[in-house]
Amino acid sequence: MLKGGTESHLAQPPFTPPGITAYFGGLTIGPNEHGWSEPESLGEQVMEGVRAVGAGREYTLAAGAIGNEKPIGITIEQWFSPDLGMIVSKTGHVTTGGGSSYRLEHIVQGEPDPGLFAVPSDYTRTQGPVASK
C-alpha cells in the first residue's frame, strides 16, 4: 500500500494470444482460413521460467491446393506467454512427415546490464567537415 490508501501494482498490458498460423508449401495459412479445426486449449505450464498458455489446432489442406493428390493435415501446438506478450514455443507436424519447431530459450527477465548502454571510456568525438550550401 502506498500512502493515501492506493495500492501499488505493475500494470500489465492486455496481451492476447495471436491466432495460430501455419506455413506450408509456400503458403501462409492464416488463423481465419477455411479448413482449421476449432482451437483446443492445452492448459498452462511454465516454460523457461515464464507462464505460458497453450493452444492447438489442425488444418486440412484440400487435395489439389498445391498440386497434392490427397488432403494434407497440419497440426500446430502453440504456447504463448501473456506476461511477455510473445510466443515462447511452437511446433508443427504434417501428415507428409515434415515438421518444424520454435522455442524461445534462456529467457532473462529484468533490467539489462547498464554497461550495454554506457559510452566506452576510449570513445572520442571529432568534428567532420561542415557541408556548404
Please report, to the nearest 10 degrees, the dihedral formed by the alpha carbons of residues 91, 93, 97, 101 taken in order. -10
Give the three cell numbers for residue 106.
Answer: 534462456
- What is the separation, in whole angstroms, between the first and last Cα of the chain? 61
Q: What is the DSSP letter of 36?
A: B
In the prediction, which pLDDT does 5 show?
46
In the prediction, which pLDDT does 13 show?
59
Could you tell me the sign of the dihedral formed by the alpha carbons of 65, 69, 71, 76, in that order?
Answer: negative
In the prediction, which pLDDT does 80 show?
96
Higher-confidence residue: 60 or 131?
60
Reported as a single tens digit per residue, the pLDDT across 5-62 is: 444 445 555 678 899 999 998 889 999 999 999 999 999 999 999 999 999 999 999 9
Residue 53 β-bridge partners: 44, 80
Reported as a single tens digit per residue, the pLDDT across 70-128 is: 999 999 999 999 989 999 999 999 999 999 999 999 998 888 899 999 999 999 988 88
In the prediction, which pLDDT does 4 show?
47
**3 band by pLDDT with thresholds 50, 70 and 90:** very low
Q: Model pTM?
A: 0.73
**Element containing residue 102 per DSSP (H, E):** strand 99-103
Other CB atoms within a 10 A radius of the CB of residue 79 amount to 24
Please check whether residue 72 is in contact with residue 60, taking contact to mean a CB–CB distance below 8 angstroms.
Answer: yes
